[in-house]
Structure 1
Amino acid sequence: MPVKVPDNLPAASILESENIFVMSETRAANQDIRPMKVLILNLMPNKIETETQLLRLLSNTPLQIDIDLLRIHDRESKHTPMDHLNTFYRDFEDIKHKNYDGLIITGAPLGQLDFEDVIYWDHIKEVIDWSQTHVVSVLFLCWAAHAGLFHLYGLKRKIMERKCSGVFEHQRIKAHVPLLRGFDDVFYAPHSRYAQMDVEELKADPNLTVLAESKEAGAYIVISNDNRNLFVMGHPEYRKGTLRDEYFRDLEAGINPEVPANYFRDDDPTKEPIGRWFGHGNLLISNWLNYYVYQLTPYDLSDLSAITPWEKA
């Protein structure tokens, strides 16, 4: 089944060129189907690239998904045309009265700032608090995962001197969990961040369960014990060239970055990257949508205030 997107969204033409089925709002209006309603709070600078990455993963499911795009503020962006933001993005005031099946909060290039120093931190907290009563399941990615763990559970991260960048081996440490159904015992995932959560502190928290971790990159997948909040410390949505683009961008900026680990052939940045996380990324999002959204959400989303389906997982 397709992902339903706004008419003329640039990501649609990109996905169609990859033979990924997306459906315009106009066409979807003629179908008598209750789609999953997923909200994406996009905090990344290049909004169009991140939209495309996430829609590519969301399309790999038999469910029809209705997407709303949310921005955290309406200021000018250096990396995304204002016309695009005004046309396709909503402000929180426009959607806060609504309920959603799922919410995805993306990463953000804010890894070296304390959360309280982020200019829109109060808005982030407001959206997270709202999500706990208006969304069936929330997926936090990378920076957002750290932000969610800090705001909801008071867990602090450690800011590192060197960026954790590369594709790392991970171990599945919980076998019989719906989110990891179909996962290999060992799988790969990309990371790109300046901060780290303490794995033992996460494991000790009575509200959380660590599902997967890496010896090199630390905790990767953590879920709240009520199954409502999913924290993914890396970037399963990245395309093959994303880490390469970040590496050369940082080189040009004079940051002197380390070559992303286990990424380029022979660890040589003049050679092609190796993409070996796509199967895991697609399975992770499909399992989340199936087991933590679709199978738990009520048909009428207005019922969210009366029932708590995430406690039945």
Structure 2
Amino acid sequence: MTVLIDKDQGILSPALVPALGDARGDGREIAIGLINNMPDPALKATERQFIKLLQAAAGGRRIRFQCFSLPSVKRSPEARWHVESEYSDLSDLKRQRFDGLIVTGAEPVAPDLDQEPYWRDLTDIIDWARTNTRSTIWSCLAAHAAVLHLDRIARRPLTAKCHGVFDCETVGSDPLTRTATVPLKVSHSRLNEVAEADLTRHGYQVLTRSAKAGVDVFARQYASRFVFFQGHPEYDALSLQREYLRDLGRFLARERETYPGLPVSYFDAATEEKLIRFEKRARHQRHPAMASELPALNLRSDIAAGSAAAVLFRNWLDFLAEDAATPLSLR
């Protein structure tokens, strides 16, 4: 899948994408690759979310956006067909020039990250991106995998899932967080974390943090600038709701034993009260058919989905454009 993102004209179909280098506006187009390893139910949504996010951040720039996925990520037949028919082959990644790369996490299937079936493919991408991109973004589980591979920083299990919308503050001054209005509201959905003390001890720069969720964004400079998100910058307003309903459905179907907690600062107060009452019934009457009895779900009015990510990604594109204009001898 290759699309051209042009804010003035919307998103052009692959058939309308001109040859590489045919750009208008403030310089040549920026080439962005997405290695989308999200689980099957979120595969297409993740494509759309990152396209929408980059479109909002593009300004007057033109972005060439191309999708890939690790072949070792297990897929259903339908999802595998989508990847094989719509995505570029991962082997093409190393034969092309990309200014920026975005790598998502995958649903874990092994007790340890370095035992995942896709571990070798993922670490190969980490090593390649260090010297072959201007900057790479590692999201959620991909961030945990990258720091484990690079510096043997092991993630730590949380006592409860970090799930919700969290207020984050900027730490110090960095071009990536320039003009960001704090607090930044960021979606997190994870069972593990990498600790700030471990990161700073190994030379990582913490850019944003939350009092409740811990480190949010951090970075490290190689030949490429690596930017790590423990959260999900791409999530839209309903992403956490879809995850909550998925986990609730698994509980009712006895596919998981723990009842999912409510996402933090996400549903409005009236919805939370209804869901708490529903939980009491569901624990006693546990049956898949109960899903049809869920109350209407309303979100808080102040979750500001995507607003923080739009600022960070606009600054990221600024960095890519400025760096692209700098001769290699002066970098």
1:248 to 245, 265, 280: 245
Q: Any stretches of 5+ residues in structure 1 without a counterpart?
A: 7-11
CA RMSD of aligned residues (A): 2.8
Equivalent in 312, 315, 318 of residue 284 of structure 1: 312
Aligned to 2:89: 91
The alpha carbon displacement at 1:236 in A equals: 1.5
1:224 matched to 2:227 = no
Contact 1:37 1:101 in 2 (8 A): yes
How far residue 77 of structure 1 moved from its aligned partner, in angstroms, is: 2.1
- The one-letter code matched in structure 1 to 2:22 is D
The amino acid across from 1:48 in the alignment is K
SS state of the match for residue 47, structure 1?
Answer: helix
d(CA) in 2 for partners of 1:153 and 1:294? Answer: 29
- How big is the shift at 1:184? 2.0
Matched residues in 2 for 1:240 and 1:80: separation? Answer: 26
- Equivalent in the alignment of 1:265: 268
The aligned runs of 1:148-159 (5 Å cut-off) are 148-159=146-157
What does residue range 1-313 of structure 1 map to in structure 2 within 5 Å?
A: 5=3, 21-29=10-18, 32-33=22-23, 34-45=28-39, 46-60=42-56, 61=58, 62-73=60-71, 77-78=75-76, 80-110=78-108, 113-174=111-172, 176-206=173-203, 208-226=204-222, 228-254=225-251, 255-266=258-269, 268=272, 269=275, 270-274=296-300, 275-291=303-319, 293-297=320-324, 307=328, 312=331
- Give, in whole Å, the separation in 2 of the partners of 1:189 and 1:20: 29
Compute the TM-score of the two structures, normalised by the length of structure 2.
0.80
Instruction: Give yes or no for contact 1:107–1:143 (8 Å, CA) kept in 2.
Output: yes
CA distance in 2, matches of 1:225, 1:44: 26
User: What amino acid is the match of 2:322?
Assistant: Q
* CA distance in structure 1 between the partners assigned to 2:82 and 2:221 by the alignment: 38
Give the equivalent residue in structure 2 for 1:9: none
Name the CA shift for 1:99/1:113 in 2 (closer, same or farther; >3 Å).
farther
Whole-angstrom distance in 2 between the partners of 1:41 and 1:5? 14
Amino acid at match of 1:53: Q
Consecutive unaligned residues of structure 2, counting only runs of 5 or more, are 252-257, 276-295
More helix by share: 2
Structure 1 segments of 4 or more deviating over 4 A? none
Contact preservation (8 Å) 1:172, 1:184? no
**How far apart, in 2, do the equivalents of 1:203 and 1:116 lie?**
22
1:134 deviates by 1.4
> SS of the counterpart of 1:122?
helix
Amino acid paired to 1:43 = N
Whether the 8 Å contact between 1:142 and 1:234 is mirrored in structure 2 is yes
1:191–1:308 Cα change, 3 Å? farther
3-state SS of paired residue (1:288): helix
Q: CA 1:192–1:75 in 2, change beyond 3 Å: closer, same or farther?
A: closer
1:38-71 CA distances to partner (integer Å, 9 max, x unpaired)?
A: 1100010232111001111011212111111111
Q: Give how far 1:76 is off.
A: 6.3
Name the CA shift for 1:29/1:22 in 2 (closer, same or farther; >3 Å): same
Q: Deviations over 1:110-136 (max 9, x none)?
A: 287311121110000001111112111
Q: How many residues align?
A: 290
Query: In the superposition, relative to structure 1, how do residues 228 and 212 fare at CA in structure 2: closer, same or farther (>3 Å)?
Result: same
After TM superposition, the score normalised by the length of structure 1 is 0.84
- Identical pairs, percent: 27
Measured in 1, the distance between the counterparts of 2:181 and 2:175 equals 13
Secondary structure of the corresponding residue to residue 184 of structure 1: coil
SS at match of 1:58: helix
Residues 78 and 261 of structure 1: CA distance in aligned 2, closer, same or farther (over 3 Å):
same
Inter-partner Cα distance in structure 2 for 1:190 and 1:74:
27
Higher Cα radius of gyration: 2
CA drift at 1:4 = 6.3
Letter in 2 for 1:56: K
Structure 1's 146 and 40: CA in aligned 2 closer, same or farther, altered over 3 A? same
Partner of 2:292: none
Judge which range, 96-105 or 106-115, deviates more: 106-115
Q: Deviation per CA, 1:95-148: give whole Å up to 9, x if none.
A: 222221000001222287311121110000001111112111000111111111
